[in-house]
Amino acid sequence: MIIAVDGPTASGKGTIARALAARFGLPHLDTGLLYRAVGRQVQLDGGNPDDPGAALAACDFPSSLLDEEILRSEEVGGFASRVSVHPAVRRALYERQRAFATQTGGAVLDGRDIGTVIAPEAEVKLFVTASVPERARRRWLEMTGRGIDVALAEIERDIAARDARDMGRKDAPLIAAPDAVLLDNTHLGRDEAIAAAIAAVRARADLG
């Protein structure tokens, strides 16, 4: 069984995907981490993430980069959003994601184009979202909890800008697949959102 979990930044899709993987005994891939690694490599190279050539060259990043905590930072997230608009970058990372999705036994993948591009044949597709102010608030709490001093308004502006880039790009834009289950968790707590996702998977996969 392939479970595709898509949605905008800070929507909670990663938390939900990890919970689904644990619940149904499936391997999990955070595909956004691949784009963050490319963005980070561009940064390390001193390149411009808006330059297609620099972004493509950064796709040849060392696997060890995926373990670095800095990939979770807001700055690298912004770089990831910018490199992801380049079709060549998306093509370079497509096969890695596709191989993971089609492995024997199935998998859970979260990202922005899993149900529409990477695994359109997925048995279950979820599109997880929440309002921009709520996503910004959650990200702000997360960051300040880690001792990072950042303004809530700044995070909200950054999230809105990422949404615009992700939804407006020509290649694999962020959209819900026609057959995806929409899960708006603006007013749901973590456990409530996970429970709703599990129920959706069980219904779609006819697990009773």
Residues 129-144: tens digit of each pLDDT: 999 999 999 999 988 9
* Per-domain boundaries in the chain: 2-204
Q: How many helices (H) and strands (E) does the chain have?
A: 8, 5
> Residues 40, 46, 52, 53: is their CA dihedral positive or negative?
negative
Q: What rounded mean pLDDT belongs to the chain? A: 94
The DSSP call for residue 178 is: T
Q: How far is CA 29 from CA 86, 109, 111, in A?
A: 21, 5, 9
194 CB-near residues (< 8 Å, 6+ apart):
15, 16, 19, 20
**Which residue is it, tokens 């060392």?**
62
35: part of which helix (H) or strand (E)? helix 31-45
Question: pLDDT per residue over 51-83, tens digit each?
Answer: 999 999 999 999 899 999 999 888 898 899 899
In this prediction the pTM is 0.86
Pairing of strands 28-30, 107-111: parallel
Tell me, what's the pLDDT at 208?
56
The confidence score (pLDDT) of residue 74 equals 82
Read off the pLDDT band of 121 (50, 70, 90): very high
Tokens for 166? 């992700």
Q: What is the pLDDT of residue 45?
A: 96
pLDDT on residue 128 = 98
* Structure tokens, 172: 């694999």
Domain 2-204 is of which CATH architecture? 3-Layer(aba) Sandwich (3.40)
